[in-house]
Amino acid sequence: MSARRVSKWADRTAGELQRRWGRADIHLFGKVGSTNDEARRLAEADAPSGTIVIGREQTAGRGREARTWYSPPDCGVYLSMVFRPRRVENPQLLPVLAGLGVVRALDHAFPSLSPALKWPNDIYAGERKCGGILAEAVWLDGAPRFLVAGVGVNALPLPDSVPAKVRAASTSIGEVLGERIDPARVADAIVEGLEAYLAQPPAALDHAALELLDHYDWLRDRRIGVLADGGEAPTPGVAVGIAPDGALLFRPDRGALRRIERGVVIPEPAGRS
């Protein structure tokens, strides 16, 4: 690890982050249940688009389908943003849009990281997960009232207090790069990445976005099993890409190409054919 001193989240203030990102609506918590829940509370109270909530620790962090997201203090960046788009024509595309923007921004910020997006909402570095995304839209009379997008990214290794099974499947930017990472640099990338597509989310990915997504698609050409809603056993096959509307394209070992809009994807261990 580098001997150079790197600031921790504990050294930051909301005022410093306001100046860093050029905005006033930043809420920094030492400990918070869920940054998405706090951002939603602020949005319900008319917080403007671009409002940011950051927690140095989450006690009730959650991911897709209410799964627990472990958020120990000062190990990662736990950040949510409020958006007020005029339209949200395709809610299922939101996590893919958020993930694409964040992965690209992380790649630019940390060129040796080689981050990737595992459909629909996980951020990977190599063969292990280093982040996750949760995007939630709130509707009023058929129109989007607001959108909250939350991202958790491991900047430093998870401590022993996190279950061993989770630690074994996870990594951090610091571990991959072999240096101590300033969480503010990770937060810079998250803010840039979320704003890339979510201020006015498209209904479908255009050609340029699809090419970019193909570059960052962690599942592309991997053997996987897909457990669809209500299924008892995963269907084996190969992931062949992501459709313009955000669905996973899956070619089962038997049968025609399928579009997967919801389901659990189980990658086969690396090295298996």
CATH code of 236's domain: 2.30.30
| CATH, residue 145 | 3.30.930.10
| Same domain for 241 and 153 | no
Q: How far apart are CA 31 and CA 27, in angstroms?
A: 12
Let me know if 36 is exposed, middle or buried by CB neighbors in 10 A (0-12, 13-18, 19+). buried
Average pLDDT over residues 242-253: 96
pLDDT for position 6? 45
In a domain? residue 3:
no
What does the pLDDT look like over 30-48, one tens digit per residue? Answer: 899 899 999 999 999 999 9
The residue behind tokens 């940054």 is 35
Q: How many domains does the chain have?
A: 2
Query: How far, in Å, CA of 90 to CA of 83, rounded?
Result: 15
251, β-bridge pairs: 238
Q: What 3-state class would DSSP assign to 191?
A: helix
pLDDT tens string 169-193: 999 999 999 998 899 999 999 999 9
DSSP state for residue 134 in the 8-state scheme: E
Average pLDDT, the chain: 89
My answer on whether 245 and 202 are in the same domain is no
Residue identified by tokens 């030492």 is 30
Residue 133 vs residues 81, 198, 221, 256: alpha-carbon distances, Å: 12, 13, 23, 30
| Overall size of the chain counted in residues | 273
Residue 273 located in a structural domain:
no
Domain containing 51 equals 9-216
For the chain, the helix, strand and coil percentages under 3-state DSSP, each to the nearest 5 = 30, 30, 40
> Does residue 272 fall inside a structural domain?
no
Whether residue 199 is found in the same domain as residue 238: no
SS3 256: coil
Does 197 lie in the same domain as 248? Answer: no
